[in-house]
Structure 1
Amino acid sequence: MTEADAPGPLGGGFFDTRVGLAVRRWCAPVLDLAPHASPDDYLARRAELGFAEVNRRFLASAGLGALCVDTGFNPDGLLTPDELGGLAGASAHEIVRLETLAESVAAREGGADGFADAFRTALAERTRNAVGVKSIAAYRAGLDLAGERPADRDVAQAAERLLRGAAGAGRPRVADPVLHRFLIWCASDLRLPVQFHVGYGDADADLRRGDPLLLTGLLRELARAGTPVLLLHNYPFQRSAGYLAQVFPNVFADVGLALHGVGDRASVVLGELLELAPFGKVLYSSDAYGLAEYYHLAALLFRRALGRVLDGGLAEGSWTGSDASRLAGMVAAGNARRVYGLDG
């Protein structure tokens, strides 16, 4: 057993996961290696090419027409949206993370009474060229958020708690349901599409609080306001997300983060989302982060998964070939272009 094959301290390593096996199968040829190249050969070739060439190859091979990039978590070393777009040969658009902006406002505002107005002003300015916003309430407070717009006095009290916590912790951290709701309604007032992280994430996410069904009350109120809502990733709640996309006119869903994670099971997960979700309410996304391989792998596995779902329906006589082509175009690009206004 080589060092790259060796399991971690408690057993298991990246290359012994479905995503790791998918990297060896589908990413190795992009680096001029044979499919299923050994982990050692793969890592050696990656190092030989260097990160700039690796990034260029994988972004170009993804075949993207546009990128919508969440810039809310952007430590040193990550490429900017424009840099990603340049490598992919695609237009790049920003998604503003609500909590990150709110924490920045709280850190410089200094007073709870002025927080709400300061945030509204900052959001309007920050999203001038953005195509949407994102909430990570699932990570911080859970998705069991009341639907009603919070009263000004409740927002001020929540901002006071935020600032008190910042004094002890050294920085503000939004984790209050009242503030999450306030941020979302501010975005709604600007008629911006609102993304929610749902379900599967890293160890900071509590899946018990990440079920999209918990958003039902808020989704109902946002539907009345005409606010587009994007449920992102959703695993293992893809069937629930499909239901919500069916019953609420403003709700869209994807299984982006899950597809490269499940590797060769991608068509099963996408198929479960599409059991109820209208084809006009499902979008492609990757949530690619950190590794350029994920841009290529997510796009490739999505195309294969969608092809298998549509080919299966074609074989059953559920739709025609022209239907399948039209539906593929909607899910792969058309729906996203419509909801984010990318053609405007």
Structure 2
Amino acid sequence: MATPGTVHEALAELELVDHHCHGAVAADLAAGEFASLLTEGEARPGVSPFDSPVGLAVRRHCAPLLDLPRHAPPADYLDRRTALGWREVNRRFLRAARAGVFLVDTGYAPHPLTSPAELAEAAGATAHEVVRLEPVAEAVAARGVEPDAYAAAFRTAAEEAVRRPDVVAVKSVAAYRTGFALDPARPTDAEVTGAARRWLAGGGRLADPVLVRHLLWTAVDLGLPLQLHTGFGDADLRLHHADPALLTDWLRLVSGTVPVLLLHCWPYHRQAAYLAAVFERVYLDVGLALHHTGPARCRAVLEEALEITPFRKLLYSSDAYGVAEFHHLGALCFRQGLADLLQARVDADEVSLPDALRIAAWTGRDNARRLYGPPVSGDAPARDPGTRPTRKV
């Protein structure tokens, strides 16, 4: 590990933009509930998620923020968390992340979560919303709609959702619903009507390949940055279907329209890097891979992501959900991992110090400011002309 130096100091002081995360649970958590939120996997009797890289990272790097010694035993950690209460726990970890802006996906809430405004207040920051489109489609179906009216009804509902003043992006979880091995072409009206008839008759969540294609093309039409979950996720995912390289033909068709942000990506972060290198408006982050690999390995993930990625194409996100520890750990791992690799390149005279500092600022803050524009950048200049989406609603 590089000796902490100028790059470490710069990243420690940088106010991050977390361009994709979720709320923190707004309730005290029992031991089992907390443990279930530490892992993307299923609970296993007799196996503690504390006995994992992310569990060790929580005990090492989060325990001191609860006034506990480093490596505190899990029982002590949970007792202290309960004694402080969820509001104080969230406040401590969210402030420790030192992010100035959070972009919050509000479309997944099996737990009572902080709203973007509540998250911002606890963090002493600002927050904006990312609209997940699958729940919008499912709400249209739940209200009742004729198959031949579904396309227009979904378009109207999506337009209404993104008109809210704090919305800065849309998101799809197509990776979970169908995977990315889809026909890349925009579906015809007849195809959408036929697929809607089948879906509406059977009910359930949106998982029809034609309607997922229609959702992705509608997202492009909305004109906002489009976030796509790729790679690592929970057991609901078929990982090999979530390889972003499967989107290549679709990306070729939508190239030059809206920014497409490939979220998380691991273990396909090299494929995502290729896509970012060859398509003008494709970007990536490594998201929850940072805290799940922990400080011991996050540098390696970032190094692989940066092998060919243009430096204006990598963004920071935590993808923190549920436990505010992950908002903190994501930021900590990002700062430490990126600083270590950039400082090592400075020390080896492969990168100048000014270049390293510029790359650090771009990745941690400025790339997101440029892509998402004035709501995120505050007083910073508006998006570059080459990356400004045309909002069509």
Q: TM-score, normalised by structure 2?
A: 0.82
**What letter is aligned with 1:233?**
H
Quote the Cα distance in structure 2 between the aligned partners of 1:294 and 1:138: 22
Q: Is the 8 A contact 2:59 2:73 kept in 1?
A: yes
Deviation at 1:131, TM superposition (A): 0.8
The corresponding residue for 1:203 is: 235
Q: Percent identity?
A: 53
1:104 aligns with 2:134: no
Q: Using the TM superposition, give the Cα deviation of residue 25 of structure 1 relative to its aligned residue in structure 2, in angstroms.
A: 0.8
Q: How far 1:175 moved relative to its partner?
A: 0.7
Instruction: Determine if the alignment matches structure 1 residue 59 to structure 2 residue 90.
Output: no
Match of 1:140 among 173, 177, 180: 177
Query: How many angstroms apart in 1 are the aligned matches of 2:334 and 2:44?
Result: 33
| Pairing partner for 2:367 from 320, 332, 335 | 335
Match of 2:99, SS?
coil
Letter in 2 for 1:156: T
Correspondence 1:115 to 2:150? yes
1:279 counterpart SS class: coil
Per-residue deviation, 1:146:
2.4
Distance 1:181 1:335 in 2: 28
1:47 is aligned to 82
Equivalent residue for 1:266?
298
Distance 2:208 2:129 in 1: 25
Aligned residue in 1 for 2:114: 79
More helix by share: 1
Take 1:333 and 1:146, find their aligned partners in 2: how far apart are those partners?
A: 35
Pairing 1:239–2:270 present:
yes
Alignment match, 1:131? 168
Residue 38 of structure 2 corresponds to none
- For 1:332, give the aligned amino acid: G
Q: Specify every segment of 5 or more residues in structure 1 that has no aligned partner in the other structure, as ranges.
A: 167-171
1:249–1:59 Cα change, 3 Å: same
Amino acid at match of 2:312: G
CA distance in 1, matches of 2:278, 2:345: 23
CA RMSD, Structure 1 to Structure 2 (Å): 1.6
2:200 corresponds in structure 1 to: 163
Between the two proteins, the alignment pairs up a number of residues equal to 334
Cα distance, 1:41 vs structure 2: 1.5
Deviations 1:206-237 (A, max 9, x none): 0110111100011111114x211000001111
1:32-71, Cα deviation, whole Å (9 max, x unpaired): 1111112122111111111111011111111011111111
| Secondary structure of 1:92's aligned partner | strand
- Local SS of the residue matching 2:170: strand
Structure-2 residue corresponding to 1:151: 188
User: Of residues 251, 256, 259 in structure 1, which corresponds to 2:282?
Assistant: 251
Normalising by structure 1, report the TM-score: 0.94
Residue 190 of structure 1 corresponds to which residue in structure 2?
Answer: 222
Equivalent position of 1:169 in the other structure: none
Structure with greater contact order relative to length (CA < 8 Å, sep ≥ 6) = 2
* 8 Å Cα contact 2:147/2:193 also seen in 1: yes
Give per-residue Cα distances to partners, 1:160-215, cap 9 Å, x unaligned: 1110121xxxxx41112211121111121121111111010001010110111100
**In the alignment, structure 1 residue 33 sits paired with structure 2 residue 65:** no
Question: SS at the partner of 2:255?
Answer: helix
Q: CA deviation at 1:76?
A: 4.7
> Partner letter of residue 56 of structure 2?
L
Aligned partner of residue 117 in structure 1, secondary structure: helix
Q: Secondary structure at the match of 1:146?
A: coil
1:143 and 1:212 in contact (8 A); partners too: yes
User: In structure 1, what residue type is equivalent to 2:330?
Assistant: A
Distance 1:176 1:9, change over 3 A: closer
Q: Which of 12, 15, 36 is residue 47 of structure 2 equivalent to?
A: 12
Tell me, what secondary structure is at the counterpart of 2:54?
A: helix
Conserved? CA contact 1:109–1:115, under 8 Å = no
- Give deviations 1:82-124, integer Å, cap 9, x for gaps: 1001111111111111111000011113211111111111111
